[in-house]
């Protein structure tokens, strides 16, 4: 999937954590994560949620605990950063379950 940033997220290998899978660079590098988060703030108004629409129940929010994403966060595949489950942005879409 190609996100709004124009290309697929760069991936890094995490030996022993995921079976033959990789982790997005933003989950491993705080500088990259902060930069991508700032882009989401500027382009998609990422911030605290004031409704039930939250990153924790967004189509683009992926749990990635084995990649260093905490239980209070999800990895946003749209903006390529670790998003607080309680946050939201203009790209929010309901999950297929909803």
Token output for 1? 């999937």
pLDDT digits (tens, 9 = 90+) for 27-52: 999 999 999 999 999 999 999 998 88
pLDDT at 8 over 80: no
CA distance 25 to 9: 7
| Global confidence as pTM | 0.77
More confident residue, 54 or 5: 54
Phi-psi map region of 87: left, alpha, beta (phi>0 left; psi -120 to 50 alpha): beta
Q: How many CA atoms within 13 Å lie on the side-chain side of 39?
A: 17
Does the domain spanning 11-88 belong to CATH 4.10.490?
yes
């Amino acid at each position: 999937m190609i996100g709004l940033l124009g290309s697929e997220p760069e991936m890094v290998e995490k030996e022993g954590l995921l079976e033959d899978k990789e982790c997005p660079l933003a989950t491993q590098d705080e500088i990259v994560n902060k930069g991508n988060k700032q882009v989401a703030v500027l382009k998609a108004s990422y911030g605290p949620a004031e409704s039930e629409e939250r990153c924790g129940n967004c189509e683009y929010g992926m749990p990635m605990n084995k990649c260093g994403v905490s239980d209070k966060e999800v990895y946003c595949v749209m903006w390529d950063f670790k998003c607080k489950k309680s946050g939201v942005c203009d790209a929010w879409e309901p999950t297929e379950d909803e």
